[in-house]
């Protein structure tokens, strides 16, 4: 098994994720160890050296649910130093958005 990190600009990853970003409330993500040195980009997971593997998008140090599938304990076990978690939701903005009448 190999996990290959591919750094990319955050804006590009958001474009690739499309409707899968932002992560819906209550979704499970994989938090990647910051020691890996890549917070935005992709992780190619290959379990067979004869096959190309699967590409998972990485954004803000997390692997969110995406077209490749849902993050699982099995996937987290393939990514060194990562953990499966449900992130804390951001505090709601107390100020309502400004609207133009």
Res 51: pLDDT: 84
Q: Is residue 8 part of a domain?
A: yes
Domain count, the chain: 1
**Nearest Cα to Cα of residue 42 among 66, 23, 24:** 66
Q: Is residue 96 part of a domain?
A: no
Q: Is residue 90 part of a domain?
A: no
Of 20-24, 36-40, 74-78, 93-97, the range with the lowest mean pLDDT is 93-97
Q: Is residue 59 part of a domain?
A: yes
CB 74 within 8 A of CB 82: no
Q: Are strands 2-7 and 41-46 parallel, antiparallel or unpaired?
A: antiparallel
Q: Which domain holds residue 22?
A: 2-85
Q: Is residue 50 part of a domain?
A: yes
Q: The tokens of 60 are what?
A: 């803000």
Q: Is residue 100 part of a domain?
A: no
Q: The tokens of 68 are what?
A: 């490749």
Distance, in Å, from the CA atom of 44 to the CA atom of 94, rounded to the nearest integer, reads 40
Q: Please give the mean pLDDT across all residues of the chain.
A: 86
What confidence tens digit (pLDDT) does each residue in 14-44 have?
999 999 999 888 899 999 988 888 999 999 9
């Amino acid at each position: 098994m190999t996990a290959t990190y591919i750094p990319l600009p955050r804006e590009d990853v958001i474009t690739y994720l499309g409707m899968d970003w932002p992560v819906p409330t209550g979704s499970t993500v994989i938090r990647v160890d910051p020691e890996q040195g890549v917070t935005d980009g992709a992780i190619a997971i290959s379990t067979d050296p004869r096959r190309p593997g699967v590409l998972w998008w990485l954004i803000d140090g997390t692997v969110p649910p995406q077209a490749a599938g849902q993050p699982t304990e099995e996937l987290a076990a393939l990514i060194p130093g990562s953990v499966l978690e449900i992130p804390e939701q951001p505090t709601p903005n107390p100020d309502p958005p400004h609207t133009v009448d």
